[in-house]
Each structure stands twice: as C-alpha cells, then as structure tokens.
Structure 1
Amino acid sequence: MVIINNNCKSILPKIQIYLIDRFPIFPLFIFTSLVAIAVNTIFHTSLYLKIISISFIYLQFLFHLRILDEFKDYLYDKTNHADRPVQRGLISLNSLKKIGIINILLLVILAFSISNLFIVLIFLISLLYTFFMFKEFYVSEYLRKRALLYLFSHQIVFIPLFIFFYSSLWNRLWIPNNISQVSHFLFLVLPITIIEFGRKMKHRVNHKGEITNDTYAFIWGEKNSLRIFTLLILLESLLSINIVGINQSIPFGLILLSIVLFLISYSSSRILIENNMILTTIIALLIPISLLV
C-alpha cells in the first residue's frame, strides 16, 4: 500500500492547475513526440526507446525553460499578470524550484541513458546556455531594447539540443553536412520559434486594462506580428524543398498556406489573432507531421 502524505496530496492539484495554465502538457507532448519521430526520418532507425526518450527530453527541456521564466519574470508578472498561478499564490517559487531540480536530474539521467558521455556534453551545453538566458547574458537592458536579437539569443539554445537529438539516434556526433541535412535540421528546429512568435502576436492586458509590453504585438503591432508569423511558415516551406525524400506536395502546401494566411492578415486578421493559440498549435503540429506523410 502506497502512503501519500498530506503535503503531496495538496501540491498535486496545484501542479495540475499550473500546468493547464502555463504549460499545456498534453499538446506539447504530442508536439515533442512528433518532432522526435520526424528527427528519425533522416536515419530510419528502429530505436523506438530512444525516440520516446527524446520526446520526453524535449518536453522536459521546454518545462525547464518555463520554470526559469517564472523566476526571471516574477516581478514583472506580479505587476502585470497578477492572475497567473505563481502570482496569485497557487504555487510558490520554492515549490517550482524543487520541481525544477527534479526535472533537471531526470533530464540528465535520460540523456545519459540514450547517449555516450561525448554526446551528452552537447546536451549539457544547451542546459548551461539556459542559465545564461536566465541572466539575459548579463546585458538585460541592451537585449530588451532589441527584440530580434533577444529572440535569436534565446532560440539558439535549440541548436545544440537538436544536434544532441540527431547524434543520439546516429550513435555518434552528427553535424549536417549537405543542404538536405541542413534543411531537415532547421525545418525541425524552427517550429519552437513559430510557437514562441505565435503565442505573442496578440496583445496582452494587465488588471487595469492596459496593454503590456511583453509581446511582439506590442513592438510591431498585431497585424505585422501575424505577417512575420506567416513568413516563418514560408521559410519552413522553402526549407522543405531541399529535404530529400519529402512528399513533393508538402512544400507546395506550406507555400500556399503561408500565402493564404498572409493575405488574410490584410483582410480578416482579427479572426487569426483572436485564435492565435489554436492557429499556432495547428501549424506547430503540421510541420513535423509533414515529414511523416
């Protein structure tokens, strides 16, 4: 018989509410699983346990970033987003810290379970880089005034992470060395940037009804942010043209989709912006699926 103490009983519902609000684990797990399977399309291995492990590592890595952001943005969110779980006292930073430490330990254990020490070092580079991200590279004010540089500096962490994914399936260091491999690599790295952009292309408001400055919509406007979002999809379509073995209808379909969304941004953008998370989720899932068709 398993005995669960009261503290454990009380924290579990809070974690569940937190995840629903700040880290929708089910759609994200579908996304990371599809990406892990899509990574394997370049190798066509039967290493199913590794593929499953990679999907969990990717999911846990994203959760690690989520927890770091809770600490980094705590004061800002307390002022502008007081209804969020941490800010309203549902779950404490101390609890998230403990969960985060456990998550990191599990991440490292999983990484070692599917790779040798040399390849795991590539993963550890990504993990170390996240702490520089947490400190905003010690140039916070400089970066916050340069939105594109800020975005790039925070998305680059996924490059060594994905090299680790590919290398784990290849059982040795894998570096893309031709246009098809580079395109395959970037095609699967970019969806997380599309997710990041998609969730911030709509204005957010604080409890006073004022627009907050923590979105791309605040910097470039909602319509322009939507157009940049569609251009990222177009970039994916151009990358897909160079991927050997891909269904040739995929590049055409992605190009057509990006053009349609771009045109809609000039006529009925409100529909897309109001449903930004649904749109973003669909696009993020379609991209890895396109390699499996």
Structure 2
Amino acid sequence: MKLGNLWIYQKERFPLARTVPLLAVFSAASISVSAQLAGRPLPSGWGFLAAFVTALLIFFQMRVCDEFKDLDADRRFRPDRPIPRGLISLRAVMGLGVLSLPLTALAAGAWHPPLLWLLGVVWVWLALMTAEFGVPAWLGARPVLYLVSHMAIMPLIDLLLTAFEWMPGGGPAAALALFLALSFVNGCVLEIGRKIWAPQSEIAGVESYSALWGPGRAAWVWAVFVALSFGILMALAVLTDAVAVALPAGGAGAVACAVAAWRHARAPTIATEKRLDLLAGLWVFLCYALAGFAPILTGMF
C-alpha cells in the first residue's frame, strides 16, 4: 500500500481537513454539555484528547464498514471510487480498520476503563448496521426506516463521549437525553444533506433522498431537521443559561440553511446541491460549538 494512494483515499473518503475539526468540536462539546448540565467542573485536557481520538477512530471504522457493505454497489454504479478503481484495496482499508480497534479501546480505557462496555455497545450496533440487521432487502425497501436505524448509532456514540465526563463524575444529568436527541437529529441533517442532488447528479442504481422525495421536498425535509435541531439547541441553551449567545448565532445559521433549502427547492442545480452539503456540515459544527461552549462564553460576559 503506497502512502500517496492512502493520502488520496482519505481526501476522497475520509477527508481529515473536514472531519477532524467537526469531531474535535463534537467530542469536546459532548464532555462540556455533560458537565454543564450536571453542574460539575470540566475534566482535564487528557479526557478531551481521549474522547477526540476515540471519536475519530470510531468514525473511521464506520467508513471502513461502509466500504465493505457498499462494495458491490460501488463496483456497479460508482466505479470511480477509490476501491473499485484500484487506488487501494479493500483488504488494506479493512486492515487499517482492524488495527484501529485496539487503539480505540486503549484511548477510552486509559481514561476510564468502564468506558469499554459502552464502546462495545457502539461496536455491536455498528456490526449490526454493516450486516443491515440481517434483512438488507427488507430494510433497503424502507429508506426512512433505514435512515432511522443507521442514525441511531449517533446517540450511542454521543452517550459514549459524554460518558468520558459523567462516568467518572458520578452519573449523567437527566437532561443529557436532550443532547443525545440532538446527535440523532444532526446525524439526519448530515445524512440527508449529502444525498440531496440536482437531477443531473442522480446516478442510476444509487439511492438519494432527492430521487426518493423529489429535490424540492427533500430540501424542505432537510430544513425541517435543521429546525428541529435548532429547537433542541435552544432547549439546551435555556437549561445552561446560554440563550444570549446561542439564539442569535444559531438563529442566523438556521436561517442560512432555510434559504439554501428554498433555493434548491426552487431550482435544483449542482451549485445548490453542493451548498446544502456544505451547510449541513457547517450547521452541525455550529450546533455542537454552541451547545458545548455558549454557556462558557455567556459566563465570561
């Protein structure tokens, strides 16, 4: 396996320039929200680092599982992807995924060994997702149920990441369920946002939400998930006394998403499609940044 090919692979299938900042904010916000809701001080920087490494490796493992699960479809309908076109082998990618497993366990267990059982729960769900829960044809014929079953891993990952704070800290706050719900909704924002395409971008044999619902309706479904995410964010802001920061910043982001959805619904193009995908990532980044750090900023002023 050539390092140059591996670098190209990550740029196309696991872009670190986009993934690292998002997961850094996601993992740090998870710890911060858990502490804020419980009225506890933040853990040391080592806890934040361990949670980030754990999150990064889990998301890479999710990519590896997708490569395995989607290989046949990629060969048939997306031969330009790295594995079908021969840039890198599936065996090499899976080898890296297997290698990442003990590193993930080390990162979590070194901080707090009981975290390993929650990590095991995440891995079990990931394995079930990869196997399509044993009913691939049945699940594939029900796209909404497919979305829900696969996005359920997001609150499980967030339960693990928040546990870096609450497990050694004495237990989770009751309101932490709101933050786990936010993770599920934001997962849907990302997933739907990346699969809303202009008509000319649709690929025969490849499912998209724009093909399922039409580009206009899909854009508005995405906007509804953004609005739901904003509502949960504001509920968390009320609980952590951070409305003064979260409301204007989050409101501006939600409006920008709504405008992008309207433009795509009115006239779907490749440019509006890319804008939705970009805004999906930016919205989730902003949402977690506000949930995790708006209470801290509010307290400084």
TM-score range, shorter chain: 0.7 to 0.9
The residue that corresponds to 1:57 in the other structure is: 54
- Of 129, 152, 157, which aligns to 2:125? 129
Higher helix residue share: 2
The residue that corresponds to 2:16 in the other structure is: 25
The residue that corresponds to 1:216 in the other structure is: 209
Which one-letter code corresponds to 2:165 in the other structure?
Answer: L
Residues in 1 aligned to 2:21 and 2:263: alpha-carbon distance in whole angstroms: 32
Give structure 2 stretches of 5+ with no counterpart. Answer: 36-40, 295-301
Aligned-residue offset at 1:114: 1.5
Query: Is the Cα–Cα contact under 8 Å of residues 193 and 277 in structure 2 kept in the other structure?
Result: yes
| Alignment of 1:262 onto 2:258 | yes
Cα 1:267–1:97 change in 2 (3 A) is closer
Query: Is the Cα–Cα contact under 8 Å of residues 15 and 91 in structure 1 kept in the other structure?
Result: yes
Secondary structure of the corresponding residue to residue 89 of structure 1: coil
Query: Is the Cα–Cα contact under 8 Å of residues 190 and 284 in structure 2 kept in the other structure?
Result: yes
Which one-letter code corresponds to 2:128 in the other structure?
Answer: F
| Stretch moving more, 152-161 or 77-86 | 152-161
Secondary structure of the corresponding residue to residue 87 of structure 1: coil
The residue that corresponds to 1:72 in the other structure is: 69
Secondary structure of the corresponding residue to residue 275 of structure 1: helix
Which one-letter code corresponds to 1:74 in the other structure?
Answer: L
- Of 219, 222, 225, which aligns to 1:229? 222
Aligned-residue offset at 1:247: 2.6
Query: Is the Cα–Cα contact under 8 Å of residues 205 and 211 in structure 1 kept in the other structure?
Result: no
Query: Is the Cα–Cα contact under 8 Å of residues 151 and 184 in structure 2 kept in the other structure?
Result: no
Residues in 1 aligned to 2:287 and 2:143: alpha-carbon distance in whole angstroms: 25
Residues in 2 aligned to 1:167 and 1:78: alpha-carbon distance in whole angstroms: 39
Aligned-residue offset at 1:65: 0.8
- Of 101, 105, 109, which aligns to 2:106? 109
Structure 1-normalised TM-score? 0.86
**Aligned residues: percent identity?**
18
Query: Is the Cα–Cα contact under 8 Å of residues 120 and 164 in structure 1 kept in the other structure?
Result: no
| Alignment of 1:142 onto 2:142 | no
CA-based RMSD of the aligned residues comes to 2.3
Query: Is the Cα–Cα contact under 8 Å of residues 57 and 107 in structure 1 kept in the other structure?
Result: yes
C-alpha deviations, 1:135-180, integer Å up to 9, x for none?
A: 10111111111111101111112223222221221215744523xx
Cα 1:52–1:191 change in 2 (3 A) is farther
Residues in 2 aligned to 1:204 and 1:101: alpha-carbon distance in whole angstroms: 38
| Alignment of 1:153 onto 2:144 | no
| Stretch moving more, 19-28 or 221-230 | 221-230
Residues in 2 aligned to 1:252 and 1:261: alpha-carbon distance in whole angstroms: 14
Cα 1:64–1:247 change in 2 (3 A) is same
Aligned-residue offset at 1:64: 0.4
The residue that corresponds to 1:40 in the other structure is: 31
Residues in 2 aligned to 1:251 and 1:182: alpha-carbon distance in whole angstroms: 21
Runs of 4+ in 1 over 6 A off after TM superposition: none
Give structure 1 stretches of 5+ with no counterpart. Answer: 1-9
Cα 1:215–1:24 change in 2 (3 A) is same
Aligned-residue offset at 1:227: 1.2
Count of aligned positions: 279
Which one-letter code corresponds to 1:131 in the other structure?
Answer: A
The residue that corresponds to 1:14 in the other structure is: 5
Aligned-residue offset at 1:245: 1.9
Higher RCO (CA < 8 A, seq sep 6+): 2
Residues in 2 aligned to 1:189 and 1:176: alpha-carbon distance in whole angstroms: 18
Which one-letter code corresponds to 2:62 in the other structure?
Answer: L
